[in-house]
Chain A
Amino acid sequence: MRKSLKTEFAAFLKAVETSGQSTTSQAACHHSAVEVNDWQKIKSEIKRSLSNGESIPTVATHRRVKS
């Protein structure tokens, strides 16, 4: 790596430190599937409503690109 680049990085980091801007990241939340309370019960209630004839909606997640 060029010496000037190293100097630029060091100057940048010094300025960041002086600014007091946070450079660490704390997870405000990780809402994980396993943390949903009573998920099995919720799931069975959704299943019951779906078995009453309602179809499961689907959505295309990616745009098709013409080759």
Chain B
Amino acid sequence: MRLVKKVLIYMVCQGRLLVFTHPRNRGIGLQVPGGTIERDELTEEAARREFFEETGQTLQAIRFVGEQFHDMRPFKDELHHRTYFAGTWKHESRKRFAHQELHAGRAGVAPEHFSFRWEKIGAGLIDALAVGQGNLLGRLSPTSAKVLTPRVRRAELVSINKLIRTYQSNRASEHLRLLSLLFAEGSSKVSRRVNTTPSRALLAQAFSIAVTGAKKQNNTKIAHAKKILDHSDGNSRRPLICWRKDCAIDSSVKYESTAYVYVGRGSAPSASDDVRACLDEAIAWIRRCNMDDSVNNSLGVIVLLRKRGLLEASNSYTLSGLPGTIFTDFVPSAFRMGEVLLHEATHSWLNDALGACHVSLPRDKLFYSPWRHKDRPAFGIIQAAYVFSRILQYLARALVFDRLAAHEVSYARSRLRSEQRVIKKHLKSICAAFHLISDSRLRDICLEELNRAVNLTHPGEKSCANH
């Protein structure tokens, strides 16, 4: 891997940071001004030169912020040794401005276009900056990293989430229309229930079991579908939580474990208040870690399979035919349940993202899965690698909060070490699978998440990555 020396500049004006995107290549993401230190150039000189080239403005008084190493894989096989400086904007303050970088003396290099804007400094921005450029932002002021600012989202993520919402809405409407053919008298009851994630999950369950019932001419399955449709439990926006004893088995979607569809138990849900409180706290953990984008539209029904102890690994699964439903064992730790919910909801998110972006993946190209320890098609490896990249970030972020029990800290640290090692070892093949995603927005998001996972440091442990 090639070592490249870089400078980055945190330019601040009235509590806001100067950031930019490349209008012609938005996939690179949100960045701060900076660039490569040239041979025989002093670090501070490089900062002034790069800032002038990229913004067209001179850099006045600057101060050293810190240094950091950043592994640029899978984007480039480079290790960046970054030096960060901070400056205060002394020029005319404009909300947004554009600039074209002129590479003087570099024949054949097309000028780059930058679109600048100011974003409020806080936790939301740290997470939004590409390839770890926000990592030292907390050093500008000790409190900035903890200031909860509105999250700045990547343009690609905003665009894909919008597509997913339309995709999910269309799917629910279509499920409803088709089920109305079978249950004409029940259609008015369910027609108002397509706007919440639980109601959509129930609709998908009713649809799935109705199709099986109709194919097999099995009236019991049709009755289950009707019972699901008639249920009012999906009206709430909160996930519907039930134990598998509230469910009927849908043998048509059997996959290693058994799939269940919710048939409900009237007004007496079987999950105890303790279990509900634990799962509410699990969702709070996901939000605390700034990762609720993955779960907002994917947590409809949670089917609890078995109760497991803290010393047992839990099983969980998601099925593309039952979007919005998550099947999982229950472990009495909100933090660990947060991991499970995030894991499965992220699979659902990616399923919908692939569908909404019309991505078709080849079935004949196989990639080694370090989780299944066998070759899998691109779909499987993309799902696993994307989800584990997100899970690693969840574990690292949760460790920063001083709220985990000692056994949860041990779990998070050892799991983080183990899975990060796996991802780093198989980075090339994961990256090759990601490059089969034909939609550039989704591909860029997947690659960025992978880059973040590779670069995670282990909070509370000695690290040589950051100085």
Contact = CB atoms under 8 A, between A and B. Distances in A.
Do A and B actually bind?
yes
Interface of A: 1, 5-6, 8-13, 15-16, 19, 21-39, 41-43, 45-50, 52, 54, 56-63, 65
Interface in B251-285: 252-253, 255-257, 259, 268, 270-275, 278
A26 B314 CA distance: 21
A47 B311 contact: yes
B370 A37 contact: yes
Nearest to A32: B315
Contacts of B275: 59-61
Interface string B407-437: 1011101110011001000000000000000
B211 A46 contact: no
B182 A62 contact: no
Contacts of B311: 43, 46-47, 50
User: Is the interface on chain B under 10, 10 to 19, 20 to 34, or 35 or more residues?
Assistant: 35 or more
Given A27-B319, A57-B332, A52 B415 contact: no
B318 A63 contact: no
A25 B217 CA distance: 19
Contact of A49 (B207, B350, B406): B406
Given A6-B217, A59-B332, A24 B321 contact: yes
A33 B314 CA distance: 5
Contact of A31 (B208, B330, B344): B344
A51 B179 CA distance: 55
Contact of B210 (A12, A34, A48, A62): A12
A28 B298 CA distance: 13
8 contacts: A8-B181, A16-B178, A26-B320, A27-B318, A30-B255, A30-B317, A43-B313, A60-B274
Contacts of A19: 174, 177-178
Indicate the member of B215, B370, B405, B410 with the most A CB atoms within 10 Å.
B410
Nearest to A24: B321
B297 interface: no
Contacts of A62: 243, 270-272
A39 B310 CA distance: 12
Given A8-B182, A21-B175, A33-B313, A63 B273 contact: yes
A1 B213 CA distance: 13
Contacts of B36: none
B149 interface: no
Contact of A1 (B217, B312, B317): B217
Q: Which 7 A-B pairs have the closest CB atoms?
A: A25-B321, A33-B313, A28-B347, A9-B214, A25-B253, A59-B332, A38-B418
Given A60-B274, A63-B270, A29 B344 contact: yes
Contacts of A13: 211, 214-215
A59 B273 CA distance: 10
Contacts of B379: 26
A28 B407 contact: no
A54 B255 CA distance: 38
B366 to A, nearest CB: 16
B178 A15 contact: yes
Given A28-B319, A30-B255, A61-B307, A45 B214 contact: no
B322 A31 contact: no
B426 to A, nearest CB: 11
Interface in B156-193: 171, 174-175, 177-178, 181-182
Contacts of B406: 49-50, 52, 54
B414 A38 contact: yes
Given A1-B217, A25-B252, A63-B273, A31 B315 contact: yes
B383 A29 contact: yes
A42 B414 contact: yes
B380 to A, nearest CB: 8
B78 to A, nearest CB: 27
A9 B215 CA distance: 8
